[in-house]
Structure formats: C-alpha cells, structure tokens
C-alpha cells in the first residue's frame, strides 16, 4: 500500500510524463486544448466539412481520419512557420490574397462563405498558415519547396500523442493508434 501511495505521489508531483502535448514539432508543443479547439473549429464548419462524413464513432469523439488529417496539417503548418520565420519572411496582404486565389479561384464571396463557419481568430490563423506555405513555396521555388518539405518531415523530431496515433517519418503521416482486441474474441 505504501508503494502504491509513493507511486501516486511521484506522478502527481510531475515526475511522470512531462510531455502533455497533443503534437510536438521540434521544440514547439501544441497542447491538447489547442488541438481540440482546431478539431472543434473544423467539425463546426459545415460549409467546408460534410457533417455526414465526420459522424462520430461515439459521443464526444471524432472520426480518426479527420483527427489524423488535421494533426498532419498542423505538423505541416508548424514546420512551414518555423522555416518561414527563419528565412525572415513576413505574411502580408498579398500572400493572404494569394490563398484566396488558390483555394477559391479568387472569389471572395466563396471564400467568405466557406470560411464563415470558423471564428475570426481561427480563420485568420488558418489563412496566415496557408499564406506562409504560399510564401515559402514562392521563396524556395517548386523544387526547392518540395525538397525542403520532404527533408523537414523526415528529419524533424515530431511526436503525436498516442491518443491520436503515431508519427511515421517514412510516410510523413499520422498512423492510427493500435487497437488491442479484448480477450476472448
């Protein structure tokens, strides 16, 4: 009993797993709360996400493909942000306009409709993340961007919470979590 008490004390004092992040990209940690807000933003945007395609497997849960896809997108966005800033590039109105052109054919009305389901702050963050991708691709050129991205996805220390799966640097994807079948089945 004393040993169990000591173990509980050890973990409650913070000597257990210190990494409580949903995603880690190099030294950057994305908390569970941040990632949950991003999931909620996408699930709540019926203009861009078909609600029937993301029917939850259980109350309070999200489809695994959606979660893994958004985790991979967040990893890509974070790697891009790091390189974009390291190169001294800046997001400006021109890059933001290019995002609207790429995603919505330059049609601001379609962009407004598609992005209206996001909060103002998430919409701005998403457009800036996409603008950094456009800006970095422009700065590096198509071949340079592809080579940089492949190397960054392969070589950066990336971790995904086992709750969502695991990062596979060989395929640059989030692999579904392993499911252990109950005994007797």
Q: Which CATH number covers residue 123?
A: 1.10.4030
- 109-134 tens-digit pLDDT: 888 888 888 999 999 999 999 999 99
Total domains in the fold of the chain: 1
Name the token pair of 36. 């949950």
pLDDT band of 184, cuts 50, 70, 90: low
Torsion, Cα 115 107 135 154, to 10 degrees, reads 60
Question: Is residue 115 in a domain?
Answer: yes
| pLDDT score of 85 more than 90 | yes
What value does the mean pLDDT of the chain take?
82
For the chain, percent of residues with pLDDT exceeding 90:
52
| pLDDT score of 13 more than 50 | no
Quick one: which H or E segment has residue 158? strand 158-160
Alpha helices, DSSP H, located in 31-119: 32-43, 64-86, 93-104, 108-115
Give the domain range for residue 77.
21-54+63-174
CA distance 143 to 185: 50
């Amino acid at each position: 009993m004393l040993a169990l008490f000591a173990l509980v004390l050890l973990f409650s004092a913070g000597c257990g797993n210190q990494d409580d992040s949903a995603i880690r990209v190099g030294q950057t940690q994305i908390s569970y709360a941040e990632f949950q807000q991003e999931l909620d933003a996408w699930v709540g945007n019926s203009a861009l996400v078909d609600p029937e395609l993301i029917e939850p497997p259980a109350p309070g849960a999200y489809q695994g493909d959606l979660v893994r896809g958004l985790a991979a997108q967040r990893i890509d966005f974070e790697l891009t942000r790091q390189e974009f800033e390291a190169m001294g590039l800046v997001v400006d109105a021109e890059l933001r306009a290019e995002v609207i052109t790429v995603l919505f054919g330059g049609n601001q009305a379609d962009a407004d409709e598609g992005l209206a389901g996001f909060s103002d702050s998430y919409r701005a963050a998403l457009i800036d993340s996409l603008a950094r991708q456009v800006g970095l691709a422009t700065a590096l050129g198509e071949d340079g961007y592809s080579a940089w991205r492949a190397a960054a996805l392969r070589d950066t220390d990336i971790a995904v919470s086992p709750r969502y799966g695991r990062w596979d640097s060989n395929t640059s994807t989030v692999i579904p979590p392993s499911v252990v079948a109950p005994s007797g089945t």
